[in-house]
Structure 1
């Protein structure tokens, strides 16, 4: 379809009226926020967050209704008209949340017979949750001493308690594994050596 130069210029300028990040990354179970800025001409219009590979066929998930925060499940959107910004928040992220999304503003003329707007694509990625330093230390302890269990000795029980959520620091765990455990085993060996059966004169 042929477009007049004035209308073509309007469409091209509209594509520059909305800006946002090209990509964002969150972690599994966490949350992320996307901030999109628009020109003043779009201040009074609805803002949308839609999902899909193409701008024209994406499905609207959540939209603004004034400046109040609107929610749809784990997603929310809020328009800060005084800052010409709207913010989309995604919570409790799952692997299925990764994909192509769009920040969108739409305005209508002529009683709805002709509508136009602008959109900007945002690629959402979801990465595995990062292990904390404590979890990494506990995993290393398990790799070094795979046979540890609460039935074997007290030190192993301390290790398991710590790794299941104790408030002790990772430094304490390192002292436990590399200092207390060898000391305990040394004491056990000494007791067994002292109490060993002695051979009589006749052999």
Structure 2
């Protein structure tokens, strides 16, 4: 009786019909691109990106309309690439408040959408603060280092900066 159990797994959200990264990370002010891949059977379906702890109650942010044209909602855009069975979500100008649980989902036909089993995959987004730099300072990796004193008004070339920043 293992066959019915195996078939049931194929019907559950997030199982094989849709895949994506489990987590992605970015820095405040930058952009993130998330790619989710789906099976050929979902080629003509709308894809969407939503936010929430649970896929069944997530808030839809942006959705395709069954075509390859990019759709946008503020800083978030989505585009379906039917030639390679993927859709891409882009989050621009990230901020710390963008950290959280999101979902790549495919709209299927169900009477009660809240109870539907839209194929979905959860993506945890984490955003770290942008590194702070002081005007006139040299930004280097956070490792112990001794830097030579630079006189006011003296500029360092890229080569000189790389000599002062290890790694």
Under TM normalisation by the shorter chain, which class is it?
0.7 to 0.9
CA distance in 2, matches of 1:58, 1:13: 14
Q: Could you say if the C-alpha distance between residues 20 and 9 of structure 1 is closer, same or farther in structure 2, counting changes exceeding 3 Å?
A: closer
Deviations 1:162-203 (A, max 9, x none): 4xxxx733617989xxxxxxxxxxxxxxxxxxxxxxxxxxxx
CA displacement at 1:113 relative to structure 2: 6.6
Q: Could you say if the C-alpha distance between residues 172 and 103 of structure 1 is closer, same or farther in structure 2, counting changes exceeding 3 Å?
A: closer
Contact 2:13-2:119 at 8 Å conserved across structures: no
**Equivalence map 1:26-65=2 (5 Å):** 26-65=26-65
Counterpart in the other structure of 1:136: 140
Number of equivalenced pairs: 151
| Structure of higher CA gyration radius | 1
Counterpart in the other structure of 1:72: 73
CA distance in 1, matches of 2:161, 2:15: 57
RMSD of equivalent CA atoms = 3.5
Q: Normalising by structure 1, what TM-score?
A: 0.62
Counterpart in the other structure of 1:81: 82
Q: 5+ residue gaps in structure 1?
A: 149-154, 176-203
Structure with bigger RCO (C-alpha 8 Å, 6+ apart): 2
Q: Could you say if the C-alpha distance between residues 72 and 13 of structure 1 is closer, same or farther in structure 2, counting changes exceeding 3 Å?
A: closer
In proportion to residue count, which structure has more helix?
1
Q: Secondary structure, in 3 states, of the residue corresponding to 1:56?
A: helix
Q: Normalising by structure 2, what TM-score?
A: 0.74
CA distance in 2, matches of 1:99, 1:117: 20
Q: 5+ residue gaps in structure 2?
A: none
